[in-house]
Amino acid sequence: MSKHTVTMTVNGTKYTREIESRLLLVHFIREDLELTGTHIGCDTTNCGACTVLMDGFTVKSCTVFAMTANGKSIETIEGVAQNGALHPLQEGFWEKHGLQCGYCTPGMIMSAKHLLSNNPNPTEDEIRWGLSGNLCRCTGYNKIVEAVQYAAEKMSAEQEQDA
């Protein structure tokens, strides 16, 4: 097996590891770094449970080689809460009952985080489009949309307060 050294920053911490060239990013995150919030659902990019942010963009880590993350910044669900406080998206999923089994939730939150970073006040249709790469088999999506709307409103209010 061909081995390569990779260095990446995951949730603000820099890691250097020797890995096989065929190692997928999702396995690097879950097995090498023991960050198990990123889920494996389908291995074909259909479900979005493995969604993480790479340099601020969503990627489905089940089909991305870990080598391609060399030198990049990765954010997983474990990096979303700050200083022990839930991110407004996490709070929104809790308050608006945007989850049932919770399996899709990490990927949904990462996709929604990307959406809100580019569009802080999305319409319902824009939220649905922004989450269209993520599947939920439990909720029917309405509560997930409400959770993202909750987060957008809270984040907007926090920005107004800081101004």
Task: Domain ranges for the chain, please list them.
Answer: 3-79, 88-162
Q: Scanning the structure block, which residue is given the tokens 């020797």?
A: 18
**Are the beta carbons of 52 and 110 closer than 8 angstroms?**
yes
Q: Is 99 left (phi over 0), alpha (psi -120 to 50) or beta?
A: beta
Q: What pLDDT digit, counting tens, does each position of 35-74 carry? A: 999 999 998 889 999 999 999 999 999 999 999 999 999 9
Residue 159 — very low, low, confident or very high, per pLDDT cuts 50/70/90?
Answer: confident
The predicted structure's pLDDT at residue 16: 98
Query: What's the pLDDT at 139?
Result: 80
155 confidence band (pLDDT: 50, 70, 90): very high
DSSP string covering 85-133, please? B--HHHHHHHHTT--SS-SSHHHHHHHHHHHHHH-SS--HHHHHHHTTT
Task: Name the CATH superfamily, with its identifier, for domain 3-79.
Answer: Beta-grasp domain (3.10.20.30)
> What's the confidence (pLDDT) of residue 160?
85
Q: What is the pLDDT of residue 150?
A: 98
Over the stretch 71-107, which tens digit does the pLDDT of each residue have?
Answer: 999 999 999 999 999 999 999 999 999 999 999 999 9
**What pTM value is reported for the model?**
0.94
3-79 and 88-162 have identical folds: no
Q: pLDDT by residue (tens digit) across 111-154?
A: 999 999 999 999 999 999 999 999 999 888 999 999 999 999 99
Q: What is 88-162's CATH number?
A: 1.10.150.120
pLDDT of residue 163: 74
